[in-house]
Amino acid sequence: MYIVTRGEVVITAGTESSTLRAGDAFYAPQGMRHGVRNESDAAAELILVFGPAGQNPFTQTGVEPFEADLSPRAEA
């Protein structure tokens, strides 16, 4: 799973491409050819989540909205 936390990236899954922006997520099921690239001049940040092979832990696939609090955390 790719979670965009800043900027935007283009994700290619199979033969289709979509732009993901901060707050968007993408799940690539096992065996799906996919790739991510930053086509802008701005930096992009992502969180990558990996899991063991096996049953799909997510009920949805593809580009899905992802709600996240992306505000900076205060230093303790």
Rounded to whole angstroms, the Cα distance separating 5 from 13 reads 20
Output the pLDDT for position 73: 57
CA distance from start to end of the chain: 30
Show the DSSP H helices in the chain as ranges.
none
> What tens digit of pLDDT does each residue of 4-55 get?
999 999 998 888 889 999 999 888 877 788 899 999 999 999 998 877 666 6
Query: pTM for the full model?
Result: 0.66
Q: Look at residue 63 and tell me whether its pLDDT is greater than 80.
A: no
Domains in the chain, ordered, with CATH? Answer: 2-65 (2.60.120.10)
